[in-house]
Structure 1
Amino acid sequence: MQHIGARTRERMASDREVAAFADCGLALAGSSLARAGFNFYRPTPDMRQLLVCTGGRGEVWLDGRWRDLTAGEAYYTPAGVPHAYRAKARGLWSLCWLTYPAAAPRAPRFAPRAPVVLPLNPRPLALAVEGLCEAVAHRAPQSERELWTRLLHQHMQAALAPATAQDPRLAALWSAVDADLAHPWTLAELAQRAGLNRESFRRACLAETGRSPLREVAHRRLRRAADLLRHTPDKVAAIGQRVGFSDPFAFSVAFKRAWSRSPRAYREEG
């Protein structure tokens, strides 16, 4: 059961409009000014969602009962677990929200496995959602939409892992990798730089990023390539070499696999 209600007003951006959503695993981002009639019940949701209250008061289903959700609180719901939320009979309930498909490989890794209410400063996320929706509404270039998307994803990660600090060994390693993406990084060298054996390093990397070590390196290379394509006049082949691809064809194939478009098409859309 999903009812928006005749008096509710919504704004949203989808993965059809924002190319960078694919990099973060996002499907939708939006905001709702909800009134009576706004009522959602999903017995077997096929997506993960963070619903953030920015004002007013509504109700969410948690631990077998309804409870109020007010400004400064967020309702996180995982895939496959029933959830529900609704506006009250009177008053305005202001929300912003992000959804990730259940199978999105790049969705946040530190997500709870059952619906939960979290304390959250709603303003940064709400401003980022508003900025993205404005960018889409005014046909801003994909490069601008990508900046808003990164903010959204970062806020989502922080909301779901407030007590999970990044491993300082990995933080130092990834800083070194980002500083020299053209270097031919190997698993052995990465593990040595992190001060871990290969298996411990692989597990730590999977837990923190959701990717194997070499896939994380590739992800960082292609993310940097996307930035360079949008913000520099450098030739495609030169950008590929700069981020560690000596073969222009291999760079084009890898980039298209990650961004669903060729490097040239990605640049033209910017």
Structure 2
Amino acid sequence: MAEHVDLTVETHVMGSRTTLTVVRAEQCEALAALHIAHVAVIDACAPYAVVRTNLSGAFLQVCLDGAGQTLLDGRWYAHRPGVASFSPAHALHAFHCVPRKRWRTAWVRFMPTSPRSVHGALAPSMMRFDGTVLEHAILGLSQEVATGNDPGTCAVWVDVIDRYATRLLDPLQREPRLVLVWNAVAGDLARDWSLKELARLASTSEEHLRRLCQKSLGRSPGRQLATMRIARAAHLLATTGEKVEAIAREVGYANSFAFSNTFKRLTGLRPSDFRAHPRRHEDPSGLH
């Protein structure tokens, strides 16, 4: 079992045997137009490790081959082929290679201005997804930027990347009953939502709602509600000067102690520590 990295320190370790293909918005107008900071394919091995204590823009990463470890929702997950991870902005996010194993992934990093990065966007998620086409589109874009850099051809590659990201990141659109439920919740996070109320909004039983959420979101209704509340709280802590107690009430926690405990469980930091932590919009290398 690999030792996990220190989650209190911004970290970006590449290692000499890790190779990276990356295209940034500064190199490609089509990426910038869609508020995508950069896209990449990486073939990594230990000591490759990344920790972002306050992710400035949402991040999508799909495992293509090998094995790694990814932190989301305050938990470590085995990140294997055919599985994608999504981390929203202002979240604690980390991943690293497993010793003696290579790990090949493709990623899309969104700008803070992207709709994917605003509060209320999809909560942290691990999802089944075949990243083969996404990988080929990123490599195709990289080749075009390095050779002809024709704007029209680049736009075609970027359109494919965006379409596949959208297909993955809009799971609620595949289940209209959940759209009604979570749109209502997002509009009133302070409300004391019960499972019975959520099921009524979905016009289904409580048990069936659990199954729908597990299938589409990879989590129970209760955990989805908690992650939405903490995602909103993290956004407010990072972008406003509101008091922690006021933010707790705004996202549905009458008890500040319970809010602090849940926030730490899902982000790794207490709310006050999260707000006090230095903000970095990009890793020192500029790759993430």
Q: Residue 123 in 1 paired to residue 111 in 2?
A: no
Does 98-107 or 30-39 show the bigger shift? Answer: 98-107
In structure 1, how many angstroms separate the alpha carbons of the residues matched to 2:43 and 2:122?
26
In structure 2, how many angstroms separate the alpha carbons of the residues matched to 1:83 and 1:24?
23
Tell me the CA shift for residue 110 of structure 1. Answer: 8.4
In structure 1, how many angstroms separate the alpha carbons of the residues matched to 2:92 and 2:33?
27
Inter-CA distance 18–107: structure 2 relative to 1 (3 Å threshold): farther
Q: Supply the AA of the counterpart residue of 1:14.
A: R
Q: Residue 89 in 1 paired to residue 99 in 2?
A: yes
Tell me the CA shift for residue 105 of structure 1. Answer: 4.8
Q: Supply the AA of the counterpart residue of 2:140.
A: G
Secondary structure in structure 1 of the residue aligned to 2:29: coil
Q: Supply the AA of the counterpart residue of 2:165.
A: M
Match of 1:32 in 2: 42
Q: Supply the AA of the counterpart residue of 1:42.
A: R
Contact 1:24 1:106 in 2 (8 A): no
Inter-CA distance 109–133: structure 2 relative to 1 (3 Å threshold): farther
Superposed CA RMSD: 2.2
Secondary structure in structure 2 of the residue aligned to 1:31: strand
Tell me the CA shift for residue 42 of structure 1. Answer: 0.5
Q: Residue 41 in 1 paired to residue 41 in 2?
A: no
In structure 2, how many angstroms separate the alpha carbons of the residues matched to 1:54 and 1:154?
18
Q: Which runs of 5+ in 1 are unaligned?
A: 168-270
Match of 1:76 in 2: 86
- What do the CA deviations read for 1:28-73 (whole angstroms, capped 9, x no partner)? 0011001001100111111111011000110001333322100100
Contact 1:108 1:156 in 2 (8 A): no
In structure 2, how many angstroms separate the alpha carbons of the residues matched to 1:8 and 1:118?
25
Contact 2:57 2:117 in 1 (8 A): no
In structure 2, how many angstroms separate the alpha carbons of the residues matched to 1:98 and 1:60?
15
Tell me the CA shift for residue 162 of structure 1. Answer: 2.9
Inter-CA distance 106–41: structure 2 relative to 1 (3 Å threshold): closer
Tell me the CA shift for residue 139 of structure 1. Answer: 2.9
In structure 2, how many angstroms separate the alpha carbons of the residues matched to 1:109 and 1:144?
33
Tell me the CA shift for residue 106 of structure 1. Answer: 7.6
Q: Residue 140 in 1 paired to residue 149 in 2?
A: yes
Q: 1:11 aligns with which of 18, 21, 24?
A: 21
In structure 2, how many angstroms separate the alpha carbons of the residues matched to 1:48 and 1:166?
23
Secondary structure in structure 2 of the residue aligned to 1:164: helix
In structure 2, how many angstroms separate the alpha carbons of the residues matched to 1:108 and 1:121?
26
Q: Supply the AA of the counterpart residue of 1:66.
A: W
Contact 2:67 2:81 in 1 (8 A): yes
TM-score normalised to structure 1 length:
0.57
Tell me the CA shift for residue 15 of structure 1. Answer: 0.7
In structure 2, how many angstroms separate the alpha carbons of the residues matched to 1:68 and 1:106?
24
Contact 2:88 2:117 in 1 (8 A): no
Runs of 4+ in structure 1 over 6 Å off: 106-110
Secondary structure in structure 2 of the residue aligned to 1:55: strand
The 5 A counterparts of 1:96-175 are 96-105=106-115, 111-113=121-123, 115-165=124-174
Q: Supply the AA of the counterpart residue of 2:126.
A: V
The 5 A counterparts of 1:160-239 are 160-165=169-174
Matched residues, percent identical? 25
Contact 1:108 1:157 in 2 (8 A): no
TM-score normalised to structure 2 length:
0.54
Inter-CA distance 166–69: structure 2 relative to 1 (3 Å threshold): closer
Q: Supply the AA of the counterpart residue of 1:47.
A: G
Q: Supply the AA of the counterpart residue of 2:108.
A: L
In structure 2, how many angstroms separate the alpha carbons of the residues matched to 1:108 and 1:149?
21
